Structures are given as C-alpha cells and as structure tokens.
Amino acid sequence: MRHLLSLTGLDSGDILDLVSLAAKIKNNAKKYDDTLKNKTMLMIFEKPSLRTRVSFEVAMTQMGGHAIYLDAKDSPLGEKETIADTAKVSSRYCDIIMARLYKQENMEELAKNSSVPVINGLTDEFHPCQILSDLLTIKEKKGKLKGLKLAFVGDGNNNITHELLLGCSTVGIDISVGCPESLMPQKWIADIAVKKAKISGSKIKITQNAKDAVKDADIVYADSWMSYHIPKEEKEKRIKLLNPFQVNKDLIKNAKKDAIFMNCLPAMRGMEQTADVIDGHQSVVFDQAENRLHMQKAIILKLLKEEK
C-alpha cells in the first residue's frame, strides 16, 4: 500500500491488518508516543471537517510528529498552481499528505505526482478512512465481521455508501442498501463490490424499499442527506425524496433486536435519523467517532512503514 485513495484495491488481509493494528494502538497508545518524531503531515482541505481534521492532527501529535492544516482557499491550488505542482512541492517538505477534495480524479492526480504517501480524507465518491475505522467499531461491538449484515439507508450515490459496499464485500459482511432509484450507488463501484463479494462470499442487495434493506440487519447505518458537495438549493427536494429512508423507531424495529446504529457524523436529528435513534441505546456514533483517531494512526504507520 503506497497511498490510500479508496478501498477498491485493498483485499481482506490488508483491511484486517489495519483493523488489528488500530485495535493494538488503541489498547497501548503510549507505545507509539515517539514513533513519528520529526515527521510532518500536510492536511489539505477543500471541504469542511471536524473529525477528520482533528483526529489526524491529534494522531500526529500523539505519535510525536506534527500536522499542518492548509485550507485550499488560502493556497494557490487550482487557481495559480496545478495539483501536480502542489504535490511535487509538498512532497519536498512533508513526509505524508492527507487531502479532502471534491473530485476523486484530483486525488488521483495528487497521488500520482507525490513522492510521499497520500491519504484520501474524503472525496465526493470515497471515504476510505471512515469505513476502515467503522470496521474496527463493528468488530468491537459484534466480536466479528464475517457473516454480519449491514444495512445502509439513504443516499446511495454517496462516498460512505460506496466505501461501505467495498469494505463490507471485502471482509465478508452482507450489505443491503436502501435508497431512491435516482440516488443509486455508481454502477462501476457497485460492480467492483460484486466482484469482491464473490471472493468473500458476502451478499449485496440494492433496493428501493427501506424496510427490506433493514430486515434482520446487525448494523443500521445512516449518513447525511446533504453531503458537503450537495448544493443548498437541493435541500427541500432531497428531504422529500429521502424521507422514506429516515432511520426512525419504526424502521429500526425491522433490524435484529441487538442491532447497532451507526452514522459517520455530522448528523442532523430529524433528517437522516430521528433524535430517539441517534441518542438512544442502539447508537454507537460517539465510539465510532473516537475510533477515527485510532485508525488514523494505523493508516499513517502502515503507509510510513513504521508499524510495530
């Protein structure tokens, strides 16, 4: 693994290695105190963030390194400087780059021109770091990955949905996506997931019926209806379209009794889920958010070949 741009190229061994390294780090964070002494991460952001920005910065600090936050608006990127030049210059200063960009093709261009590892901190299509840490959370809560069923309901044409399809199908979790016909996952990504599912033996279902998707699930997952890249003018239209896919008490009843509820956050109560669900006993969203920190450390160490 030279870069982490999406989960498309990772096999089950790669993912399980990262999950177990993150768990090891979580249980003995002190051991990694000075692992990244004098190492610097550049963090480039075109979109807002709380979790990704803070967890990566804290991860670098706790391991003895340093992180630089660069708001793309305060840099020449895109206006006066190409992505390729940005990558070439940044790699002369920094040991690793993490970027949150709109377009995946720009992420690929950044990585292609960088001589240091590049981590995708979210694009319109993918969010690999989130789903890797979610797999750690699922493992902690359910004691296993293979053989579980995860149901995602909401926007199917979405970075989280795409990575859940890839991550679950790689490690052998059955995944069902409940979404409107006009917001289906992108076909080329779903096709890769189907190939991965053939290898792992997991099942993939995409349906327009939220109840069917959630039926007997071990994990029910919701994500924002208004992802960072969606124009604000679309809000009312999307609320109407996505309302049948809201995770509320009635919908989650169709899942297993001991099902957990996940949302990568940020979340809007009354939109993709009701307050009683996200603040209720099935919700694990804050443990999920905490695990971003432990997984970021694992990802950085793996890419810098510093894992112990």
Residue positions annotated with a catalytic role: 100, 127, 130, 223, 264, 292
Q: Does 130 bind ligand CP (CB under 6 A)?
A: yes
Q: Which is nearer to ligand CP, 160 or 206 (CB)?
A: 160
Report the residue from 1, 50, 199, 275 that binds ligand CP according to the rule CB under 6 A: 50
Residues facing residue 42 across a β-bridge:
68, 97
Each residue 258-277 as x (binds ligand CP by CB under 6 A) or -, in order, gives ------xxx-----------
Decide which of ligand NVA, ligand CP, none touches 159; Cβ closer than 5 to 8 Å per partner kind.
ligand NVA
- 203 touches 51 (CB < 8 A): no
Q: Which residues bind ligand NVA (CB under 6 A)?
A: 122, 158-160, 223-224, 227-228, 264
Q: Which of 91, 124, 134 is nearest to 294 (CA)?
A: 134
Residues facing residue 226 across a β-bridge:
none
Q: Which is nearer to ligand CP, 130 or 202 (CB)?
A: 130
Calculate ∠ Cα 287-290-294, nearest 5°: 125
Q: Which of residues 62-81 bind ligand CP (CB under 6 A)?
A: none
Q: Residue 218 and residue 151: Cα distance in Å, rounded?
A: 8
Q: Which is nearer to ligand NVA, 55 or 158 (CB)?
A: 158
Decide which of ligand NVA, ligand CP, none touches 104; Cβ closer than 5 to 8 Å per partner kind.
none
Residues facing residue 41 across a β-bridge:
67, 96
Piece in contact with ligand CP (CB under 6 A), picked from 47-55, 198-206, 229-237, 299-307: 47-55
- Residue 154, amino acid: G
Residues facing residue 206 across a β-bridge:
177
Decide which of ligand NVA, ligand CP, none touches 133; Cβ closer than 5 to 8 Å per partner kind.
none
Instruction: Collect all residues with Cβ–Cβ distance below 8 Å to 252 and sequence separation of at least 6.
Output: 214, 220, 259, 261, 277, 282
Piece in contact with ligand CP (CB under 6 A), picked from 12-20, 45-53, 190-198, 295-303: 45-53
Which residue in the block uniquely carries the two structure tokens 């076909």? 187
- 154 touches 132 (CB < 8 A): no
Interacting residue ranges for ligand CP, rule: CB under 6 A: 49-52, 122, 130, 264-266
